[in-house]
Structure 1
Amino acid sequence: MAGTSQTPPGDLGRGDRPDPATEAFVAHRNLLFTVAYEMLGSAADAEDVLQETWLRWAGVDLGEVRDQRAYLVRITTRQALGRLRALGRRRESYVGPWLPEPLLTAPDVAEDVELAESVSMAMLLVLETLQPTERAVFVLREVFDLAYDEIAEAVGKSPAAVRQIAHRARAHVAARRPRGVVSPAETRGALEAFQRAVETGDLQRLFDLLAPDVVLLGDGGGVVRAALEPLVGAEQVAHVLGRISAATSLQPAQINGHPALILRLDGEVDTVMAVRIDDGLITGLYAVRNPEKLSRIETETTLRR
């Protein structure tokens, strides 16, 4: 690995003259992170995948590589698949509901409607219901629009098999994804009303904003207090939300490309709460409290397709 670093390079200063391998990796780094994150739902694990991708990429003979982007995506996908299979076993013993790691994202993510939908908390939870290979195929085809033969190389299947997997995964996701596309303005409006109701403790207003079958998922990871089972129903969820401490401040933010709330207690991030909205009502609330999943909330993460 002559002339290469053992860690994935980040942004380089103007005076740096990267070697071709480093230059290619840096150019595609945000794309590779997005691929890994969409497959894993964890920024920490996505970073580990990038580390592994870099180590393999640094040893590649670039003269043999026709398409550097496709080659890097292939390495990243293979590493993410291996990690995803291992994570599946680890998540079986996770304490309480498991939620994706929330990311503070820049406004340009929300402007890319397809990317924003694909990284939303609701969609990432749908992707969790796919088998690892199905998830990889769906992400690479539906989000990144890779050709079937490129995906086949990445997942070790024939193009014909990949087409069948893509069809099956697409049908599976379509049956579970949010019922309609909600504009950022609609989401923001509902979230503002939700924030006012929580801050004022207005249970009736909360009840009016929640769908009758609303589901609240809380992820404490066994580290901090959170419900160990999903809370279902407007009345139950409204009463739980009504108990949020008056000392808690609620801050609007762009989380995973969508409006959400950051709850702070004594100035420290306590919870990140994302919402799912269908037909004008809140149908899903995703409250991430596990401190291990809140480390990226103070800094924007760049996602790219």
Structure 2
Amino acid sequence: MTTGAEPGDDQSDPSLNAIMSERRRLINLGYRLLGSLADAEDVVQETYARWYAMSAREQQAIESPGAWLMTVASRICLSLLGSARVRRETYVGEWIPEPLPEPTDWITGGSGVVGTDPAERVTLDESVTMAFLVVLDAMTPAERVAFVLHDVFRYPFGEVAEIVGRTPAACRQLASSARRRIRTAQTPAGPIAGQAGIVRQFKTAWQAKDIDALIGLLDPDAIATADGGGLAVTHLHPIVGSEQIARAYAEIARVTGDRTTFLECTVNGLPGLVARQDGKLATVFAFEIAGDRIRHIWAVRNPEKLRPWRIW
């Protein structure tokens, strides 16, 4: 493909820094819409490829390059969300959004080097907690894009409408429907320190195979969901109920024994756990905690989703 320029080719171009400064915003958009950092990175690359495929005259005719990049990235994500629903039909087991560690722990380019470029990071806030992303994933593509653009990135509905291909009124309805889903799913979360304490107690009880202690830390209607993607052994269907989860996890601890160690960490901005088995990264656990009980556990074992965690 012939391009008008490549990133970094002409540092004297005053517009280049402005264009590349949008990268972090685009990564943040793509991750929230797709639930995958790898897919978000692909979207950003495709967006920039389309920009640099234009002639200098075409680029100069664009009044707001940043808005153009966001529009193109949003439309690519909208298309991918539609095809993702088809791909999920053949996915082995449950699909969970890709978990993210603290930004300082990120890996760049698969090289095993800790990432330092802020442009490569997702801002960790309430809109990227695992619980939030799971609710987003249950929305229709148009609903998800309309909500994220308006409620997270503060786009007016007129601009959202141009991206989604609906009327402003229709986009307002889409965002309103999405908001209702979020409110219905939301649970009152306590302070981070308190959540970290509950995760620590869970880790201790799990290592001790203390079923009663595990039950006491779980909501009676708790759900444990795992994602192996057919590439790692795990339960294919959600486990429902505190006693069922406690017994299943105690059995996992019995089988893996001393081969598994657990480390406390931050997963998508909230307290979580990393499991290492035989010295290698095996699983990342995210938790939803309501009050002083664990309401949901998400266990991501698919190695393709653990790329940002390689230093663990």
State the TM-score bracket (shorter-chain normalisation). Answer: 0.7 to 0.9
Over 3 Å counting, the alpha-carbon distance change for 1:18 and 1:211 in structure 2 is farther
Number of the residue aligned with 2:114: none
Number of the residue aligned with 2:306: 294
Separation (CA, whole Å) in 2 of partners of 1:263 and 1:154: 41
After superposition, what is the alpha-carbon deviation per residue over 1:17-42, rounded to whole angstroms, capped at 9, x for unaligned? 26455423321111101111111111
Letter in 1 for 2:67: A
| 3-state SS of paired residue (2:297) | strand
Letter in 1 for 2:5: T
Tell me if 1:104 matches 2:101: yes
Over 3 Å counting, the alpha-carbon distance change for 1:151 and 1:249 in structure 2 is same
Please, which of 24, 31, 38 is the counterpart of residue 18 of structure 2? 24
| Unmatched segments (≥5 aa) in structure 2 | 105-122
Contact 1:104 / 1:298 at 8 angstroms: preserved in 2? no
Q: Which runs of 4+ in 1 moved over 6 A?
A: none
Over 3 Å counting, the alpha-carbon distance change for 1:175 and 1:18 in structure 2 is farther
| 3-state SS of paired residue (1:227) | coil
| 3-state SS of paired residue (1:190) | helix
After superposition, what is the alpha-carbon deviation per residue over 1:167-212, rounded to whole angstroms, capped at 9, x for unaligned? 1221122222x22233211211111111111122222211110000
Tell me if 1:121 matches 2:118: no
Over 3 Å counting, the alpha-carbon distance change for 1:189 and 1:16 in structure 2 is farther
Number of the residue aligned with 1:219: 227
Number of the residue aligned with 2:113: none
Contact 1:274 / 1:285 at 8 angstroms: preserved in 2? yes
Letter in 1 for 2:73: T
Over 3 Å counting, the alpha-carbon distance change for 1:2 and 1:260 in structure 2 is same
Number of the residue aligned with 1:150: 159
Separation (CA, whole Å) in 2 of partners of 1:37 and 1:122: 14
Contact 1:4 / 1:22 at 8 angstroms: preserved in 2? no
Aligned identity (percent) is 39
After superposition, what is the alpha-carbon deviation per residue over 1:239-298, rounded to whole angstroms, capped at 9, x for unaligned? 121132232111111111111111001221100000001121001000000111111113
Aligned length, in residue pairs: 286
Number of the residue aligned with 1:4: 5
The structural deviation recorded for 1:2 is 4.8
Contact 1:216 / 1:232 at 8 angstroms: preserved in 2? yes
Larger mean Cα displacement after TM superposition, 75-84 or 182-191: 182-191
Number of the residue aligned with 1:303: none
Number of the residue aligned with 2:213: 205
Tell me if 1:265 matches 2:277: yes
| Unmatched segments (≥5 aa) in structure 1 | 108-113, 301-305
TM (normalized to structure 2)? 0.85
Separation (CA, whole Å) in 1 of partners of 2:65 and 2:102: 26
Over 3 Å counting, the alpha-carbon distance change for 1:47 and 1:106 in structure 2 is closer
TM (normalized to structure 1)? 0.87
Tell me if 1:51 matches 2:48: no
The structural deviation recorded for 1:100 is 0.7
Separation (CA, whole Å) in 2 of partners of 1:3 and 1:71: 17
Separation (CA, whole Å) in 2 of partners of 1:181 and 1:66: 43
After superposition, what is the alpha-carbon deviation per residue over 1:123-180, rounded to whole angstroms, capped at 9, x for unaligned? 111111110000001111111121112212221222222112111221122222x222
Larger mean Cα displacement after TM superposition, 156-165 or 120-129: 156-165
Number of the residue aligned with 2:62: 65
The structural deviation recorded for 1:16 is 7.6
Number of the residue aligned with 2:115: none
Letter in 1 for 2:34: L
| 3-state SS of paired residue (1:72) | helix
| 3-state SS of paired residue (2:49) | helix
Question: Alpha carbon RMSD of aligned pairs, Å?
Answer: 2.1
